[in-house]
Amino acid sequence: MLVVMDRGATPEQVDKVVKVIESRGMTARPIPGGDRVSIGILNNRGPVDPALFLGLDGVKEAIPVTRPYKLVSREVQPEDTLINVGNVTIGNGYLTLMAGPCAIESETQAMTIAEHVKQAGGHIFRGGAFKPRTSPYTFQGLREEGLKILAKVRETFDLPVVTEVMDTETFDVVEAYADILQIGTRNMQNYSLLKRAGQSNRPILLKRGMSATLDEWLMAAEYIMSEGNTQVMLCERGVRTFVRHSRNTLDLSAVPVIMRESHLPIIIDPSHAAGYRDQVIPLSRASVAVGAHGLIVEVHHKPDEALSDGAQSLYPEQFEALSKWAESVHKLLKT
C-alpha cells in the first residue's frame, strides 16, 4: 500500500498517517517526491484496507501495491533515482564508466591502470581487495592493504572507488575506504550482508546472482532499501546458461524490464559476462544502446600476468576505444 498525500499536506498530517500505520504494527516509510509526499507501508502481513487512510486529512489516495517489492518499485517512486559519488552522478541521462583491474595486486599495478582509466575518460575506479574466488588456492586479495591502495588511487587521480564487500565481518573496514560498495553475484542472497548494506551510508552496487530471476534480484535490492539505504544500483553481469563460447550470457533483456519496474540505476558488467576480452567492446556498445546507465569493466596493463581474470581484462588502449564508443552510442541515443 502506498498512501499519497495532497500537494499541500502539512507535516502534521503526514505524521498522523505514519502513526496510524505504526499503531497497527507496520512500518511507515515516507518518500518525499517532487511536489507531494507518499508513504510506503512495509511489514504488512496481507492486504491493508485503504479505508484506514482515506478519511484522514491531507490524504489524496491509497494505492494497493501489487508487486512483491515496494521501495525499489516505480509504483512507489515513479522518478528515477540519481546517485552522487564525489563529482560523478549515476542514473538517468548519464553514462558512468567504471574501470580497473579485477583485483588490486600492488600499488604500482593499481596506479598504472588508474592513470590509463583516468586519461581514457573513466569516471570511477574499480578493484577488488577482498576477492570471492571459486578456488581457495588462488589469490584472495590484498585485503586492507588493497583498500589503502584504493584510497591512494582516489587521492591521486580524483577517482571515486568501487570495491567488493564480501561479508559482515569485514564490512566496517571496506566501508571506511570505499566510495561504492559492491555486493558480488555469489552474495546477492546473503541476507545478513544485504541488511548491513542497508544500514550503510555508502551507495551499493548490487550484482545480479548468476542464476537469479529479476524478482529475486529486485527483492535483494528491497532488503537493502528496507533498512534505509536508498542509494542502490543494480548490476547485470551475465547469468549461467548452456553456452560454451562465453563465461556467462549477458542478459540485456533485463535492462528494459528493470527500467520499467524500478527507478534504480542499472549498470552492465560485460567483462564477467563474457570472460574473454574480444567480446567486451561489442557487448559494451550493445549495453549502452539498450539504455544502461553505466558500465563496469576490467582493465589491466599486463593481463597475461594478472592474478585474476586476465583473459577478460582489456588492454588500456582497448578501454580507451571502448570509452569513445560508449560516448558516441550514448550521444546517438539522446538525439
**Site of interaction with ligand PEP (CB under 6 A):** 102, 128, 132, 184-185, 207, 237, 269, 272
Q: What are residue 233's phi and psi, to 5 degrees? A: -120, 145
Which among 13-21, 94-102, 146-154, 254-262 is the span making contact with Mn ion, rule CB under 5 A?
94-102
Question: What does the alpha-carbon distance between residue 223 and residue 7 come to, in Å, rounded to a whole number?
Answer: 30
User: Which is nearer to ligand PEP, 128 or 146 (by Cβ)?
Assistant: 128
Q: Which CB, 70 or 272, lies closer to ligand PEP?
A: 272
- Minimal distance, residue 244 CB to Mn ion, in Å: 20
Torsion sign across C-alpha atoms 174, 296, 262, 47: negative
Look at residue 182 and give its three-state secondary structure.
strand
Nearest distance, CB of residue 156 and Mn ion, angstroms: 23
Output the smallest distance, CB 30 to ligand PEP, in A. 34
Could you give the CA distance from residue 214 to residue 260 in angstroms, rounded to a whole number? 12
Selection from Mn ion, ligand PEP, none that 207 binds (CB < 5 to 8 A by kind) is: ligand PEP
Residue number, 132 or 291, with CB nearest to ligand PEP = 132
Give the residue with the Cβ less far from ligand PEP, 196 or 272: 272
What span, in angstroms and rounded, lies between the C-alpha atoms of 284 and 278? 11
Q: Is 24 helix (H, G, I), strand (E, B) or coil?
A: coil
CB of 314 to ligand PEP, least distance (A): 14
**Cell 570509452 found at:** 323
Measured in whole angstroms, the distance separating CA 305 from the mean position of its chain's CA atoms is 29
CB 107, min distance to Mn ion, A: 19
Least Å distance, CB 270 to Mn ion, is: 12
Sign of torsion over alpha carbons 131, 194, 72, 30: negative
Residue 154 interacting entry, from Mn ion, ligand PEP, none, C-beta within 5 to 8 Å by type: none
184 binds, among ligand PEP, Mn ion, none (CB under 5 to 8 A by kind): ligand PEP
Query: Which helix (H) or strand (E) segment is 257 a member of?
Result: helix 254-261
CA atoms of 94 and 289, how far apart (whole Å): 13
Contacted by 303, from Mn ion, ligand PEP, none: CB < 5 to 8 Å by type: none
In the bound state, the residue with its beta carbon closest to ligand PEP is 184
Minimum CB distance to Mn ion, residue 203 (Å): 20
> Do 187 and 193 contact (CB within 8 A), yes or no?
yes
**Side-chain-facing half-sphere of 68: CA atoms under 13 Å:** 9
Site for Mn ion in 122-151 (CB under 5 A): none
Nearer to Mn ion, 102 or 181 (CB): 102
Grid cell digits, residue 25: 504494527
Q: Does 75 bind Mn ion (CB under 5 A)?
A: no
Piece in contact with Mn ion (CB under 5 A), picked from 19-27, 96-104, 169-177, 275-283:
96-104
> In the complex with Mn ion, which residue's Cβ is closer, 222 or 298?
298
- Grid look-up 505514519 returns 18
> What would the grid cell of residue 128 be?
577488488
* Binding of Mn ion by 309 (CB under 5 A): yes
102 binds Mn ion (CB under 5 A): yes
Taking the complex as a whole, the smallest distance from the CB of residue 235 to ligand PEP amounts, in Å, to 7
304 close to 264: Cβ distance less than 8 angstroms: no
Q: Is 158 left (phi over 0), alpha (psi -120 to 50) or beta?
A: left
Residues that bind Mn ion (CB under 5 A): 102, 309
